[in-house]
Chains A and B, each alone.
Chain A
Amino acid sequence: MSQTVTPYLEMSQAIMEAGGEALKKCYQCGTCSGTCPWTPITHFNIRKLVRYGQLGLDGIEDFMWGCSTCRFCVERCPRGVEIIDIVTAIRNVYSGGGMLPQSLRAFVGSLSARGNPWSGDPDRRNDWAKEKYPVYAPGMDYLFWTCCTVCYDPRNTRLAKAAAEILNLAGASWGMPSLDVNCCGESLRKVGDAELFERLKAKNLDYFKAQGVSKIITVSPHCLASFDEDYGADFEVVHLSELMAKWIQEGKLVPKKDFGGLTVTYHDPCYLGRHSKVYDAPRDILKALPGVTFVEMERNSEESMCCGGGGGGLWTEKAKGERLSDLRIEEAMGTGATVLATACPYCITMFEDSKRTLNVDEQIQIRDVTELVLESLEISIDEPVGDACAV
């Protein structure tokens, strides 16, 4: 790096115009970087990113992809800076200049061409359902929003099916989207492609409007947060775990299976916890499962660790030793748990990967709360439960 730099305030201005207005508020106290889960293990430094942004300094592009938008810093920032907006704005400004890393190009390309990040055929979006489940029609109570990841990623289609069965069992009036929708665009927005995000959003909103959708259930907290934070539309959106907790409490769902002393710990997905402030529902569910011993990790709830999958992290390669999901699995195993439960397809994917690379298949299972509920209801979905390959 050169010894002298010149502040390039035009860049700073561009970042602010792209939504990073909050740059101005930061007084560089280091609370964000002291809180950020990446600071101890990588060179990524969120405070520096903001500082570079404030002065428009060169070199910002070297580390602007490090943030997984876990929102921990935002919660703690004494100046109330919406740091994620800054990150998004910086990425928007610089990736517009062609600075998108290779690994994210496929992701953006797939979203642009096929409306999902997994290079899936848009016509086969609902293939997981095998025509067993209803498509949303006006008059139904809920649209069950199937995240692209649960539609296309073989490991996560189990999640979609489990959710569908549970919705049926609880007697809800629901349907899944037709093929007229595409990805919610949450991660894409955080990666900085505001233009494409608006396109995806518009298509979904058109569908919601045409169908008169007023209530949406999501399995992915990322869709949940996106609808809530970015869509600004007049529909209600709720995460399936909230409904499941309610239904269990109301007796609409009665967990039967005795898990026989299974020790389960719970990882708060950042987008369900810190972004959407849902902490209790998944815990209430786990505690209601017969024969489950629920244990907490040291970092839980508001202080939960990030899996690293947000903000495009799911599609970015990280070197060994720089993976938060690895650390999190170790922390989970440290509690004596044999099941690491979570409530997000991204977390599931990250943990399944880490479990394999850490070679701890025997010691710990990764399960979504939804899957555990289905199991407790003693319903099986018609396919073997096993590890699928990552895409």
Chain B
Amino acid sequence: MSFEPKILGIACNWCTYTGADLAGTTRLQYPQNIRVVRVMCSSRINPSFIFRAFQLGADGVLIGGCHPGDCHYNTGNLYARRRLAVTKKILEFSGMEPGRFRVEWISASEGNRFAEVVREFTEQIRDLGPQTKFKISQ
């Protein structure tokens, strides 16, 4: 059987989650490998969520937030940007493939951007193959 990556999405309620809804409303097609967790703001995302997701067997993790400057909570994503950048560096230095973790700013009006990012990211993860480093074997 061909490799079907499991991708965890964590999306902020106001922009990216709404953008993902818009992708649906406009019937854009994208791969079904992504499963999205809704949080209120990208700043809610605890770095440990991401480490944990990889331990749970995620092959890729995609974070979506409002564009900097457009955060529903004014500055949440500006903190998130720094915190997630550090998370990415930590993953990278631990030996995790950098391509497995991605942060994108996708606004509520960017349904096609959401679909495009998911397509691209899924393809990228497919190329990287299964994530085995963090995954806890059952």
A contacting B, Cβ–Cβ less than 8 Å: no
Query: Interface of A with B (CB < 8 Å)?
Result: none
